[in-house]
Every structure is written in structure tokens, then in C-alpha cells.
Structure 1
């Protein structure tokens, strides 16, 4: 009997010590926890809810998520983007906005946000809070709180804001990699200035690239427009946008931006960002940022206030049957490497122009979002495993150590110093012309324009995607590197470009 008593007493002491230890762990300062760590302390013991593939009963999921989705109202004091920015994105995708006008009077806008921690960290879209003079958050209990921006990133359209309120309800972050086409999902937000609204639908597609982020980022701000009028020089930008949206037919409308896309278990799998619509209202094509991409971006915001992005240092074309035929290659899947950044991560790993990236971390690649989202989750110094089909037909597995923005900018400045100009100033990307294309136009050299950035130089002069450039300043060019060298021969600031339109017509443009 005494033995049993001692055992019970010892167990009691151990239980008490464990409880005190757990309490002390939770008592640690907030800054020592990542957003994911804080969620684990609350959700580690939760039983996974009903699979989305099961019976479509969303009562529990809606009840769990709705209190943690907030209404965001923003005020602007008269400065907006010239010819674009948030207003033009909203106008095109949501059917309203400034229409490209510079508006001086105070404006108001609204969107949604998702609470991630009990002490007030909230994720939303960058375009919901960008350039706002005041950000007001209306909580589920209708209490108002002023928010401050922790970090924002136009390249992913994500922002992290903070309100100084404690004991808030919050949503559990799920795993967007596990989301499957056909799976039931809920969209929760504040559409059309209504109160919390829940809509249901399925996942229609994954890894969608709709071109909205690059378009919004390419527009000039008012200050840039004034500088352009003064100097005649357009702002130089590099397209670092990452689009790998989850597409859903759950009803999403104006005001849903920044709201939650959750599975039937009530787990956050995406941040609602845009719709494709002719009417400005829901037509069954909604797009959400995958939460697995958002996790990395949000942690960077919390730690650094900005995104620490890793760069692989390649330009590429996604292959399909048409592109393969154009390039005269047999492969019709993967990413065809059309250009390599000097001293970039890919160049250091031995990747060359003409190689085809077939897999990332063992997963097959079919389109650009398959690679961009995975790289977007990584930081400078991280290693990514790529499977590359070389031009000679051999397959190699290479580990690429990603480089930071400072390394990329240093390489870019070295190139500009050597050549006198950067391809970025043209606002286009290029790939070598195929033998069939050169034969068709009767030329011995040439590059294909694979992309044109709206608002930049090529777009301004009407040089369209699919055009063939065969001479720069009278010099024949067959690659992006040759094109850049030819640009350096411009005289008196004048550049002459000779080429063919996609329909076969010739052009010579001087600027």
C-alpha cells in the first residue's frame, strides 16, 4: 500500500512539473514564436475535421472561421497610381475604381482580412492596404481597431497588418499542397460591404497564372509619371511576380479580397485575391493565393518587415506542343531556359540556355507557377533540387543555391556597366528563333519576343509578343546576350530595332 502511495505521489509531482513547464513555455515573449508556432499551441490537439471529399456539411467550418475574418476599411488622401495600380486592377477585375485618373479628394475602399494569431496579426492583400493613410479593422464583435502595416509585397499581393488587441479568434493554417481539384472549399469575407458572408464551391484548378500582378506592378505611380515627363525615361522594373493561384467557383465579389479560402475542416488554404469577370461581379472564376506560399512571405514580414526572396536566375518558356514545334524540340513539358543571369544561381549550378527544367524537388513541372511558387517559399542560401534535361539529351540532377536580391542587383549592374544598357529597359523577354521561323522570314538570325510588359518600351512602340527581332542597331542577334551587346552600340542615345510582326509584316523602330 505504501508503494502504491509513493507511486501516486511521484506521478503527481511529474504531472505538476509538466504543467508548470508547459505554462512557462506558453509564457515566453511573443516575439520568440513564429506565426506557425503560435498556431500549434492552440491546434496541435485538434482532431482533423471531415474531409472535403466527404459530405458537404460546412456548418462547423463556417462557425470556426467566420469570427476570425475581419472587415478592413482604408482611407486615402488623394494620391493614387497614374494609369493603373490598385484602382486599375479593381476596375478590371472588380468593375470599379479610379479608371486611371489621378484623384485628389480623400477616397475610401474596403476588403477583408484573416486573423492568424490571438494577439492581432492579420493577413490580407497588398492591394487592399497599399498606400492607405489609415487602415481600420472591424472585428466580428463590431469593435473597431486601427491597424499598422508590418509588411507588404506587390509581387505576391500579400500584406501583414497588426492590431493591438488580445484574445482574438484566429484561423488555423492548413496545407495548400494537399488541396485537390474538385475539393469543396468555402470563401469567407465581406463582399459588397455586407457583413460576414460564407459561400461554397469547389477547387476548379491549381497553379493558375492570370497575369494580374505583373500588370498592376508595371503601372507608373504619380511620382514616376512626373519623372517620366521631365526626363523621358520610363522606370525600369524586373518582373518578380509570383502567381500560382488556387482557382475556385465559390462566389467571390468586390470586398472579398484578403478574405479566407478554407477547406471543409475549417483550415485556411488560400487568401482570396481576384476574380476574372466581364461584369465586375462573380462569374465563377475566383483566385486565391496558396497559404503555403503565404506562410513564408508572412514570416519574412514579421522578422524583417520585407520579403527576403531567393532567386534562381533564369528566364524561361513553358513548353507545350506549339512551343516545342516552334523551337524544333521533341519535349513538350517542362520549362525551356531561354536566358541565364550572369553570375546567377542557375549559372553557378551549370544550367545553360537551351536546357529544360523538368522537375523541382522531384515534382514534375508543367508550367511556370510550378517552379515559381516553390522558389517563392525559399530564402537566399536555400538549396533547391532541379532535374534538368540538357541540350545533348542527358538528364542531370543539380542542386541550385538560391541567391539574394543584392547578388542579383550586383550582377545586373555589372552587366549594365559592360553593355551600357539593360534588357529590362525594353520591357520584354526573348528566346532564340527556331530554324523554321528563320527560314519562314528568310533571315539567318533572330530572337522571339516571348513576353511584353504593359506600359514599358516594347509595349509603348507596339512590338507584340511573338514578334521576331533580327537586328539591333544594324547588328544581327540570335540570343538575348547578343541582343544586349548590340544595344550597347547605340549612338547619341538612339536605338534601332528591325523585325517582323507576328502576322509577318516588317517594322523598323528607332527610339
Structure 2
């Protein structure tokens, strides 16, 4: 009996131990094997990732409204050359049969900006025209008058005698963002109005940094082909944010890069032409360039972006506000300035006597000053490749002379820029020049076959004379 009781107790204890072991080891192991993967945020210490389900790819942007608002306000511009001459070689050599006629010299697109017929296009579309013909999207044709042009920005303003035309309102190109959807609207005539879509690929793009006048384009991948120059770049609200101007291509056709003059710059040029008859260009009064890795290394700069101030013009708004050489401009009116074309693009939308807030770095410290822009006055002597500007009293005293204009820019690569830039021209074709108006009068008054004789004072104070033929 005692053995039976002992055996029973041992059996019960053995069963309890077996059950306890199962509970302790096997069930805990089963529970731990049902673990849940931690969230992506908890495991993204090394490579950030997002595995959110039901993620929506693509765009909900609707281009139809923007296209409908703008397509009828983009016109075809035909550059006509009127001729009066022989119709064939026999008439040329033997006379008789001479006739008048018209020939298409060039064509492009234009944007109606007011209901009474003001139209913006590219200067290269209408340059050299004897007569301009504008065709609307409804095939109605008008003769256009050139109100004014600005070759530097490639903008021209036309006017047709019409009323109640559909037009495109200007948008604020400063608010354009990278990756924003845009439409390029053109009217190449043989295809009527065309609309292509793309995004803003870059802002303040300078196609030729070596150019005397820096450029500042909006870059887009919306397809723009020949015939669409002068057309509209619009946002999805149908607002004009640029005038399509150029493409980069080895073949002359679209290959993925297209460029537009920002609407703020185009609008300012148009308003200047309408109010003053020419473009009123305001300047800070500095010379410099973008901060580059080479500049960072050689000048021991403590920033990798901005505009390095190399020269401050005497009497300029920049000098009066206290900007000095070696300062690095980072912002203007809270617009970030990462490169020189950012600065020139924004300043080009301003006028003389406008005030701008300039934020710059000096000795590692950030400062801000208010600069009143001064007027940029210059004249380009294209035949010899020089741009001249009025010289300040300080500059004249530095050369120990009483009058003259300074060589402001060298426009030809074959000229020694280091030797000529900054020199003071005192005579052209043996006539005194005291300002750029004198230069313009002399150059415009000479025959195209006449040479240009320039007398100037060089950096050593010596008088030099150069004859351009």
C-alpha cells in the first residue's frame, strides 16, 4: 500500500514537471515565434525607406483647363520682307520685268497679353522685318507694329489693332518651383496651336556663362521646337510664367532641353518699353561671380554657394550701402542667391531707384543692408566688339583726365580683355567723347565702310590709338 502511494505521488510529480516544462519552454517558444516585424521607421537607421501600402503614383494635375485658357491667346507671327527687284537672272542682268513682292523671312509664336492687342514675342523672330503678320488661332490675320525690342533679353513687344482678344495674364515667376508642371503653348502655323507638357527642370539657368550679359532662364523638359519661339510657358492655372526662347540641340530640334525668359523679367521689359520707350535696367554696382570649389579653396571661403563680390563700382548703390570687396551675397529680398545668374535674374526684374534687401556674409558673419539700384547706362559698339559706359569722377581722376567713357565689357573672344577692360576712351574718329551719347552719335553717324579709330588711356596712363576696319 505504501509502495502504491509512493508510486502515485511520483507519477503526479512527474506529470506536473512535464506539464510545467512544456508550458515554460515549448509554449514560450511558440509565442515568440509569432512576432510582428517592427515598422519601417524603427529599422531605417541605416538606409531610410518607405514601404507604405496603397501609395499613389502619378499626378492628379489637370491640364485641360490651362490649355483651354491659353491656346487661343498664342498667335503665329510671320516676319515678312518686302522686295522690289528682278524675278529671275535674265531680268537681273538685262532689266525689265521688275516686280514688288513679299517673302517670309522668319516665323515664330507670340503671346497676347492685353485684350486690345499687345503681343510679346522673341526679338529674333521679328528682327529685320519689313512687315509683320499675326495670325490668331481662329485664322484671323492682322498687320502688327513693333512697339519696342530688347535684344539682350530677346524680347519684343508688338501691337495689333484689335479689341476683346483673349489674353494670358502674367504669373509670378519667382514662385515657380522645381518639378512644377508647366505647359508650353506655341503656334507654328503649319500645326496651328500646339500644347506640350513637362516640368520645370531648373531655374536661373545661364546658357553661356562667358557672355558679357549673364542670362537667367527657366529650363523645362516640355517639348519646344522651331516655330514655337516666342510662345507661352504657363502653369496649370493658365498663368504666364515664361516666354519660350531657346532650345539646346545639335540638330535644331527638341532633344529634352528648352528655355524661357521668366515672366517677371518679360513683364518688366514690356512695361519699360510702354512707359519709357526703352528698357530701364537697374544695377547693384558690383562685379563678381559664382562661388566655385576653386574660389572656396583659393580664397579660403567659408561657404560653397553665393556670389563673390570682386569689385564695387564707385558711387553705386552697393558702395553707398556698405557692400565691400570679398563679401558674399546670399539673399536678395529673401530670394536665395546660389549663383551669379540667380542675382542677375532677380535684379533684371527691377528698375533704377528700386530698393532691395541684400543679405551677405563678411568674415563669417551674416549682415543685411538696403541697396538703392542705380541706372545701367551703356552702349555697344558692335562693329569693334566693345561695350562702353559713362565713367565716374573717381575713375577719371584715377587716370588723371577730365573726360571720357570707360570700356565696360569686351564682346569678342579675340580681343585682350585684361588689357582693354577698364581703360578710358577719350576720342572716337578724332572727336571727343564725354558720355555714351557722344559715342552713339559718332558711331551711328558714320558710314558702315568707314574705319573706327579709338583713342584711349591705358592702365599705365599712356595714350593708345587703335584702328578697326
User: What SS class does the counterpart of residue 322 from structure 1 fall into?
Assistant: helix
Mapping of residues 310-389 of structure 1, within 5 Å: 310-389=282-361
Quote the Cα distance in structure 2 between the aligned partners of 1:425 and 1:292. 27
- 1:393 positional shift: 3.7
Query: Number of residues paired by the alignment?
Result: 346
The partner residue of 2:366 within 395, 413, 417 is 395
The partner residue of 1:198 within 175, 195, 201 is 195
Q: Which runs of 4+ in 1 moved over 6 A?
A: 420-423
Match of 2:395 in 1: 415
Mapping of residues 99-118 of structure 1, within 5 Å: 108-118=105-115
Match of 1:63 in 2: 68
Aligned alpha-carbon RMSD (Å):
3.1
Unaligned runs of 5+ in 1: 1-52, 79-104, 216-238, 428-452, 473-483, 495-511
The partner residue of 1:169 within 162, 166, 176 is 166
Q: 1:121 to 1:325 in 2, by over 3 A?
A: same
Q: Deviations over 1:117-148 (max 9, x none)?
A: 11001111122123322111111121111111
Rg larger in structure: 2
2:228 pairs with 1:256: yes
User: What SS class does the counterpart of residue 70 from structure 2 fall into?
Assistant: helix
Match of 1:74 in 2: 79
2:183 touches 2:197 (CA, 8 Å); kept in 1?
yes
1:415 touches 1:422 (CA, 8 Å); kept in 2?
no
2:93 pairs with 1:121: no
Unaligned runs of 5+ in 2: 1-57, 84-101, 379-387, 424-455
Q: 1:191 to 1:488 in 2, by over 3 A?
A: farther
Quote the Cα distance in structure 2 between the aligned partners of 1:190 and 1:397. 46
1:192 touches 1:254 (CA, 8 Å); kept in 2?
no
Q: Deviations over 1:455-476 (max 9, x none)?
A: 2xxx215x69xx999xx9xxxx
- 1:153 positional shift: 1.0
1:191 touches 1:252 (CA, 8 Å); kept in 2?
no
2:280 touches 2:375 (CA, 8 Å); kept in 1?
yes
Quote the Cα distance in structure 1 between the aligned partners of 2:391 and 2:321. 16
Q: Deviations over 1:230-260 (max 9, x none)?
A: xxxxxxxxx4x35221111111111111101
**Larger relative strand fraction:** 2
1:242 touches 1:376 (CA, 8 Å); kept in 2?
no
**Larger relative helix fraction:** 1
Q: Deviations over 1:147-188 (max 9, x none)?
A: 112221122221211101111111122222222211221111
Normalised TM-score (structure 1): 0.62
User: What SS class does the counterpart of residue 110 from structure 1 fall into?
Assistant: strand
Match of 2:180 in 1: 183
Quote the Cα distance in structure 1 between the aligned partners of 2:308 and 2:172. 29
Quote the Cα distance in structure 2 between the aligned partners of 1:404 and 1:486. 26
